[in-house]
Amino acid sequence: MTKQALFDDIADDADWLTDLAEQLWANPELSLQEHDSAAALQNALREEGFTVESGVAGIDTAFVARYGDSDPVVGTMGEFDALPGMSQQAKAEREPVEEGAPGHGCGHNLFGIGSLAGAIAVKRAIERGDCEGSVVYLGTPAEEVGAGKVYMIQAGAFEAVDAVITWHPDWYNAPNECSTLAMDAFDVRFSGESAHAAKSPEAGRSALDGVQLLGTGIEYMREHVPDPVRIHYVVTEGGEAANVVPEEAAMGVMVRAPGRAAVERVSDRVRDAAEGAALMSGTDADVTQTTGMYGVLPNGTLADSIRENMDAAEFPLSEEQAAFAADLKATLDDPSYESVPPAHRDEAAEAAMFTDPIDAPDAGETAAYSTDSGDVSWNAPLGRFRAATWPVGTPLHSWQAVAAGKELGTAGMLFAGQVVAGSLYDLLTDEALLAEARAEYERRKGDREYESPLPPDADPYELAER
């Protein structure tokens, strides 16, 4: 069998795959609330003969679908949560479907279906006898609040998977070979004593003072951490009336660094600063870790395989989609093309959709974002890539990305499905490739052991409410 049979399967299924992606787009659901989206994906997998385990890791919308009962076991992942406040119609002007409602500003409706297409194509290849092994689709919710995959790893969902291929919507087609920032996030709540702020301030102990003192401590801390470290915070609760000493106040804090060890060192200092702020303000501080993740272990072996499959796959962009892409690109103010190498920037700037695959533009770098895919990469060899679902220069989490996600982005989604299918098929049919990917994984990991960054008794629903 040639890979064209895999790609033909996806082309034959393009209509219902596109309909399903548009269904998710029209019903955007927030993290841990993706009930309809998860059900739609599971139903499609069951109809194809996959065995589906729902409610993985105690998360209603997390699931693992498997076809086959032999080794090797290859997997792909699908995300399907939306972003708050990103509602937008599929048109080239800012116009929400419903003001303040969610929207797929990160393209996860496309992400989930593209991976689905690849998994189903590989399943059919196994069914035909074109290859041997098993294929797994991991439905990974709550990426936008972080750590959905971390909980699934804690529950053992990735233990039997030999390698994983995943992707993400963007405006260009390229493998990823970068690492990312490890991260911890905390909810810090101060409790004090309320009082009349003018008549009896001495009777009060301001929880807001605790929050402000912690913020001041973090600002002074910045001078004494390595340059790559990033600390962000926001006041999430600070009282309701100026003449009442706040009894309760809260702050959200995030710590990022290129490695887990560095994150944990700085996180310990944030905890110490919270205790100090509580002592100074005469309040009590409760520090709860709400999420945590590792940086990605890149895998050049899988990146090279992905790049070869990009050259083999077809990008099914219609004239209507290309025209809409041009209209949508015209709404971007001063778009940046710096995420692709200089040699490609002029070409990208002149195009509405940049569909020619390029080599990994991020090899050897540490990208300035965090992803719970990083934890997956510490548990199995992980290949990652970007696929062009938006007009050139479109930033993630923009209304233009939402607008593109209904009809325009499905071309890149189908392309991504082919690349996922081809890359998984290679792993099932080429023992040397899988062995090389595993050897690189072991080499990069070295003697460092993965330990979940979350407490063993952490409740994703409880933490998400904080």
Query: Which residues is 391 bridged to in the sheet?
Result: none
**Which sign does the torsion angle of CA 37, 42, 43, 44 carry?**
positive
Count of other CB atoms within 10 angstroms of residue 364: 10
In this prediction, residues 142-170 reach a mean pLDDT of 95
pLDDT at site 462 = 75
DSSP string across 210-252? HHHHHHHHHHHHGGGS-TT-EEEEEEEE--S-TTB--SEEEEE
Q: What is the pLDDT of residues 267-289, one digit of tens each?
A: 999 999 999 999 999 999 999 99
User: Quick check: bond before 72 cis, omega within 30?
Assistant: yes
Q: How many residues make up the chain in this entry?
A: 466
Q: Helix (H, G, I), strand (E, B), or coil: what is residue 54? A: strand
pLDDT at site 146 = 77
**Do 416 and 167 form a contact (C-beta atoms < 8 A)?**
yes
Judge whether residue 2 has pLDDT over 80.
no
Q: How far apart are CA 81 and CA 111, in angstroms?
A: 10
Query: Which residues is 382 bridged to in the sheet?
Result: 164
pLDDT at site 154 = 94
pLDDT band with cut points at 50, 70 and 90 for residue 147: confident
- The β-bridge relationship of strands 248-257 and 182-191 is antiparallel
Query: What tokens does 324 get?
Result: 């809409």
Query: Which residues is 386 bridged to in the sheet?
Result: 168, 174
In this prediction, residues 119-140 reach a mean pLDDT of 97
Residue among 416, 404, 448 at smallest CA distance from 112: 416
Judge whether residue 455 has pLDDT over 90.
no
Q: What is the pLDDT of residues 414-426, one digit of tens each?
A: 999 999 999 999 9
Percent of the chain residues topping a pLDDT of 70:
99
pLDDT at site 400 = 98
Judge whether residue 133 has pLDDT over 70.
yes
In this prediction, residues 55-72 reach a mean pLDDT of 97
Q: What is the pLDDT of residues 230-273, one digit of tens each?
A: 999 999 999 999 999 999 999 999 999 999 999 999 999 999 99
Q: How far apart are CA 243 and CA 44, in angstroms?
A: 57
Tell me, what DSSP letter sits at residue 56?
G
Burial 86-104 (b: 16+ CB within 10 A, else e): bbbbbebeeeeeeeeebbb
Taking every pair of C-alpha atoms in the chain, what is the biggest distance, in angstroms? 84
In this prediction, residues 48-77 reach a mean pLDDT of 97
Q: What is the pLDDT of residues 79-111, one digit of tens each?
A: 999 999 999 999 999 999 999 999 999 999 999
Judge whether residue 460 has pLDDT over 90.
no
DSSP string across 345-403? HHHHHH-SS--S----TTTT-EES---THHHHHTTS-EEEEEEE-S-TTPPTTSHHHHH
Percent of the chain residues topping a pLDDT of 90:
95
Q: What is the pLDDT of residues 281-338, one digit of tens each?
A: 999 999 999 999 999 999 999 999 999 999 999 999 999 999 999 999 999 999 999 9
Q: Which of 145-154, 211-220, 415-424, 433-442 has the lowest mean pLDDT?
A: 145-154
pLDDT at site 456 = 82
**Do 285 and 274 form a contact (C-beta atoms < 8 A)?**
yes
Judge whether residue 168 has pLDDT over 90.
yes
**In which element (H, E) is residue 170 found?**
strand 163-170
Q: What is the pLDDT of residues 340-352, one digit of tens each?
A: 999 999 999 999 9
Percentages helix, strand, coil for the chain (3-state, rounded to 5) are: 40, 20, 40
Q: How far apart are CA 71 and CA 67, in angstroms?
A: 11
Count of other CB atoms within 10 angstroms of residue 307: 21
Q: How far apart are CA 196 and CA 276, in angstroms?
A: 25
Q: What is the pLDDT of residues 402-411, one digit of tens each?
A: 999 999 999 9
Q: What is the pLDDT of residues 429-446, one digit of tens each?
A: 999 999 999 999 999 999
Query: What tokens does 455 get?
Result: 């407490």
pLDDT at site 153 = 97
Judge whether residue 465 has pLDDT over 70.
no
pLDDT at site 464 = 62
**Do 381 and 299 form a contact (C-beta atoms < 8 A)?**
yes
